[in-house]
Structure 1
Amino acid sequence: MTDLASLSLSLRDGDDVRIVRDSLAAGAYTLDGATLTVPADIPRGHKVAVRRIEQDAPIHKYGQVIGFATRVIEPGEHAHVHNVEFREFDRVGVAGTALRETVMVPEAERRTFSGYRRADGKVGTRNYIGIITSVNCSATAAQQIAMRVEMSGILDDYPNVDGVMALTHDTGCGTGGAGNYGFGILRRTLHGYASHPNFGAVIAVGLGCEVNQIRDMTQSWKNVPSDRKVSSMTIQALGGTRATVEEGIRRVTALLPEVNEVEREPVPVSELVLAMECGGSDAFSGITANPALGAAADILIRHGGTAVFGETTEIYGAEHLLTSRAVSDEVADKLNERIRWWEDHVTADGTSINNNPSPGNKAGGLTTILEKSLGAAAKGGSTNLVDVVEYAEPVTAKGLVFMDTPGYDPVNATGLVAGGAQVLAFTTGRGSAFGCKPAPSFKLATNTPLYERMTEDMDINCGSVVDGEKTIEQMGEEIFEFIIRIASGEKTKSEELGYGDNEFVPWQLSTVV
């Protein structure tokens, strides 16, 4: 009989389940000298029970609880949604109990990349002109300005300009005004993009009668670099859409020579803020790509840089592992407060946090939000949690930072970029298609079949880990080196494919009236 250990993965001693490397056929196998019968085929990446699990007993993977048995699960059975469910349980992480000393790379030995130094000292990895909209009503005009400039061929004369992009959204009109939490998020997000180092110039376009008034919005933009050209206009004041588009094209054309003057120069990687995201996850996300990305984040942090991740609903059930790494009670309390906010939020909405994972996640072997979160939290690597910020707030601390965001990929990425991230790493096990201009986004495939099937979309194959070709540490080094190349101007697959124009999606929490 075949040894089950050669066909599956055990993540921690004492786990109740193993992860199937490839589809496991029904039949008899050996495990630790005993015979184990698999009564039905188990798909690749799914869980096989390795001991009897009593009804209502917790089920362990990663050495943590991922769910509870709805009936007795015998050794060899497939453990998934048909016999495992989400339940709340007590979990406490005490700040500082899992702190680790971060051994910093000596400053003289720290790596550099080639970036655009701005007047405020921040460094861009790209050099775009942005057309920011105050309201959905000005979205078409902004898109036409960007599209007509891009299609004109004039950008060929300005090699240091990466492009012109429209930042459109579907709110800003009848939303609550000053003092409203959701309105504040919208304003904060737009401000984050206006001051982002990946923009060389910004034009704000409004309609004229919206709550989110152009004059008020732009006057609230603090800390915009002194060399950042910012202008604004409204469709109503200019006499209509056609006049607005023509004026926008004229302004962009006038800006191009000056924006093109900036050149890349060597800067330390400590200037980088790396955003980390996982989407279209599968069971291998928490085994290959996410921990490998966490290893790369650890390296960046040791070089003085910053790594930030979010998706609060996708660290739910693993938050105690992060709070135990918090550098202070204040940081731990911030994270716990955001967890409580989400619990209240979904209850008021009549839903459950366990509505995530998605059908695709479940098809990939993830059963509950607890299991998904434990894998997602692996993106945080092993360094200490130095800060927790709200959605689209500026990320100013050096080290590992958590941002409170929803799990929806475009909304999460928009918040991270608004916070200052100049590069985004996106892990996926199902094959997410994504980009997030003005920050270059690169894809990390969790398994080799996905990488081979979607090579044109995937930048790095982390399936090499489960294939036994590379360790997590080696994969982390490869990702770190790739980050440096991307930050220095090398295009990602998503950039080559043109992704990023439709993924600016601010988090909407305002009441629309």
Structure 2
Amino acid sequence: MQTKLIKVQPEDNVAIALVDLVQGDRVTFEGEEVIILSDVKAKHKITLIDLEANDEIIMYGVLVGKAVSQVKRGEALTVTNVRHESSPVEKKTVESVNWSPPDVSKWENRTFLGYHRPDGQVGTANVWLFFPLVFCENRNIEILKDVFEKELSIGKVNKQRQLLRNLIGGNPSASINDNETEGEQTFENIEVRFITHQGGCGGIRQDSETLAKLLAGYVKNPNVAGATVLSLGCQNLQIQILKDALNTIDPNLEKPVLIYEQQQMGTVDQMLNTIITESFEGIKEANKIERKPAPISKLKMGLECGGSDGFSGISANPSLGYASDILAAVGGSPILSEFPELCGVEQELVNRCVHDEDAQRFMKLMKAYEHAAVAAGSGFDMNPSPGNIKDGLITDAMKSAGAAKKGGTSPIEAILDYGEYVTKPGLNLLCTPGNDVESTTGMVGSGANIVVFTTGLGTPTGNPIAPVLKVASNTILAERMPDIIDIDTGGVIRGEKSIEEMGEEILEHVIKVASGEISAKADVLNQNDFIPWKRGVSL
């Protein structure tokens, strides 16, 4: 008999519909009959008790909202009868962090094939990175991208270009070859990647300094072998600011960083010819680096979610959380970000901080962020997107309680502000927006050499230097968007797999991608997204 309702924690007073329910359905749940009083789509919630106005709604064991009006047992929770509400947090309420880690005996000696760097970090990719200090250099970056990508990489002929070619030739029904390629692979062990952005000048000086820290983190990231940097010369983000950021993040940086200032180099042709010649020499040297075994403790795994649905918090996110716990237990560094999507679970996270100063810093960063949102006329309560709401995440606290499951249960070893680099093993919390690309961009800038991205609705997000794996919360999504989804956790919803089994599958897939055995779907699609956070309000 198919399970139709599920409750996450014993103390919850709401249940999630696993299938579409219609008014009048009678569902046996926890040994009692529940009469469904309104149509409920799968992923949405019903109340298990009669609620009066201002009564608390508990899910994942925490306060996720309050009733706006009377809601009867068996009735659907909606944006009209529920409002966002979360519990306040003022201080840590436990003296020490107690954690029972998962059994990692079969993981302790596991390795992946990575690119070893002089500073002890290990990359899952080997990238020569081109980026500008200011948007004025974006065009030159695009020229370099066109030159290097065409000459150094095998590329599949674009399907849309093939279609247009057929249309021009008057043969729209001609076949399109999925495997047709152009060019030849020049180097086996190095990729060239390119970043453009709209920053570096014209905003406040603090934004340029923050961007410098982020770009320095990309240079420091173990997936990067070396970098070519373009500066105009007169912008806010001066070359020296980048050098200072690099020195702060690593005074002994042993990577080649080639920096060019256009206003000191004459014509565009002269500058580009110099850049191409010197960068090519650096790329040739970087190609000599080969993959070698490394313990999985060298993985810094970004934990991301986007396009979340009502199943994300009970399948994909807790499964990723279990993988995160395994990695933390063997000395790796999972990274949990998206501070607006931790609203409502702050007390749990504060209590998991190993160091009291980190607990205080987390609360300070959260309050400052929320106050900035309110000052701009918004707030964390406006975080859920229309897609989130349509698929069952109707309050920010409800969304956050499920999103936080990506971080598992392990102790929090460090709290980092945006642009700070991960140096400690164990779970790290990084202050970023909930915006998918801004958050992913920030985690990679803080050292993530691989990112696992859960989604219930589907998103193609990737990153220029780090593989981004997509984990579907449901099988319908995985089957509808197979070119985007790497892993399907729908078996958890159907009761075919446990959270622990699915978490181990995720980690196995991570190791294969980290070793170069298989490619992340986002890399196959050449999805290279990069959006820096301007520290204004971005939810």
Instruction: Give yes or no for contact 1:411–1:504 (8 Å, CA) kept in 2.
Output: yes
Query: For the residues of structure 2 that align with 1:260 and 1:36, how far apart are their CA atoms?
Result: 64
1:219 shift after superposition: 5.2
Q: What residue number does 2:124 align with?
A: 125
Alignment of 1:54-65 (within 5 A): 54-65=52-63
Q: What residue number does 1:164 align with?
A: 192
- Specify whether residues 196 and 113 from structure 1 end up closer, same or farther in structure 2 by C-alpha distance, changes over 3 A only: same
Letter paired with 2:282? L
Runs of 5+ consecutive residues of structure 1 not aligned to the other structure: none
SS at match of 1:366: coil
Letter paired with 2:343? Y
Q: What residue number does 1:372 align with?
A: 399
Query: For the residues of structure 2 that align with 1:11 and 1:88, how far apart are their CA atoms?
Result: 18
SS at match of 1:6: coil
SS at match of 1:431: coil
Letter paired with 1:137? C
TM-score normalised by structure 2 residue count? 0.89
Q: What residue number does 2:535 align with?
A: 509
Query: For the residues of structure 2 that align with 1:105 and 1:506, how far apart are their CA atoms?
Result: 36
Instruction: Give yes or no for contact 1:95–1:329 (8 Å, CA) kept in 2.
Output: no
Query: For the residues of structure 2 that align with 1:450 and 1:42, how far apart are their CA atoms?
Result: 20
Letter paired with 2:139? T
TM-score normalised by structure 1 residue count? 0.93
| Mapped pair 1:110 → 2:109 | yes
Q: What residue number does 1:173 align with?
A: 201
1:486 aligned to which of 513, 529, 535:
513
Alignment of 1:109-258 (within 5 A): 109-153=108-152, 156-161=185-190, 163-177=191-205, 180=206, 182-218=207-243, 220-222=245-247, 223=250, 227-258=254-285
Query: For the residues of structure 2 that align with 1:394 and 1:63, how far apart are their CA atoms?
Result: 32
2:286 aligned to which of 242, 259, 277:
259
The C-alpha deviation readout for 1:257-304, integer Å capped at 9, x for no partner, is 211000110111111111100111111111011100010011111221
Instruction: Give yes or no for contact 2:152–2:187 (8 Å, CA) kept in 1.
Output: no
- Specify whether residues 275 and 109 from structure 1 end up closer, same or farther in structure 2 by C-alpha distance, changes over 3 A only: closer
1:224 shift after superposition: 6.8
Query: For the residues of structure 1 that align with 2:419 and 2:189, how far apart are their CA atoms?
Result: 28
Query: For the residues of structure 1 that align with 2:31 and 2:436, how far apart are their CA atoms?
Result: 45
1:215 shift after superposition: 4.2
Query: For the residues of structure 2 that align with 1:71 and 1:417, how far apart are their CA atoms?
Result: 44
Query: For the residues of structure 1 that align with 2:199 and 2:294, how far apart are their CA atoms?
Result: 38
Which 4+ runs in 1 deviate beyond 6 A?
none
Query: For the residues of structure 2 that align with 1:56 and 1:105, how far apart are their CA atoms?
Result: 45
SS at match of 1:79: coil
- Quick one: percent identity of the two aligned structures? 34
Query: For the residues of structure 2 that align with 1:380 and 1:288, how far apart are their CA atoms?
Result: 13
Query: For the residues of structure 2 that align with 1:458 and 1:250, how far apart are their CA atoms?
Result: 39
Query: For the residues of structure 2 that align with 1:374 and 1:243, how far apart are their CA atoms?
Result: 55
Query: For the residues of structure 2 that align with 1:273 and 1:488, how far apart are their CA atoms?
Result: 14
SS at match of 2:340: helix
Structure 1 range deviating more: 396-405 or 31-40 = 31-40
| Mapped pair 1:66 → 2:95 | no
1:166 shift after superposition: 1.7
Structure 1 range deviating more: 269-278 or 23-32 = 23-32
SS at match of 2:193: strand
Runs of 5+ consecutive residues of structure 2 not aligned to the other structure: 154-183
Structure 1 range deviating more: 294-303 or 226-235 = 226-235
1:139 shift after superposition: 1.2
1:26 shift after superposition: 1.8
Query: For the residues of structure 2 that align with 1:303 and 1:113, how far apart are their CA atoms?
Result: 14
Instruction: Give yes or no for contact 2:27–2:36 (8 Å, CA) kept in 1.
Output: no
1:239 shift after superposition: 2.6
1:119 shift after superposition: 1.3
Structure 1 range deviating more: 356-365 or 9-18 = 9-18
Instruction: Give yes or no for contact 1:96–1:326 (8 Å, CA) kept in 2.
Output: no
Query: For the residues of structure 2 that align with 1:224 and 1:123, how far apart are their CA atoms?
Result: 19
Letter paired with 2:444? V
Q: What residue number does 2:418 align with?
A: 391
Query: For the residues of structure 2 that align with 1:10 and 1:414, how far apart are their CA atoms?
Result: 34
SS at match of 2:512: helix
Query: For the residues of structure 2 that align with 1:271 and 1:71, how far apart are their CA atoms?
Result: 51
Instruction: Give yes or no for contact 2:213–2:245 (8 Å, CA) kept in 1.
Output: no
Instruction: Give yes or no for contact 2:213–2:242 (8 Å, CA) kept in 1.
Output: no
Q: What residue number does 1:361 align with?
A: 388
1:123 shift after superposition: 0.9
Q: Superposition RMSD on alpha carbons, in Å?
A: 2.1
Q: What residue number does 2:173 align with?
A: none
Instruction: Give yes or no for contact 1:119–1:225 (8 Å, CA) kept in 2.
Output: no
Query: For the residues of structure 1 that align with 2:89 and 2:239, how far apart are their CA atoms?
Result: 46
Letter paired with 1:284? F
Structure 1 range deviating more: 252-261 or 51-60 = 252-261
Instruction: Give yes or no for contact 1:142–1:245 (8 Å, CA) kept in 2.
Output: no
| Mapped pair 1:29 → 2:14 | no
- Specify whether residues 320 and 35 from structure 1 end up closer, same or farther in structure 2 by C-alpha distance, changes over 3 A only: same
Instruction: Give yes or no for contact 1:115–1:266 (8 Å, CA) kept in 2.
Output: yes
Q: What residue number does 1:15 align with?
A: 12
Instruction: Give yes or no for contact 2:414–2:427 (8 Å, CA) kept in 1.
Output: yes
1:238 shift after superposition: 2.3
Query: For the residues of structure 1 that align with 2:16 and 2:106, how far apart are their CA atoms?
Result: 42
| Mapped pair 1:333 → 2:360 | yes
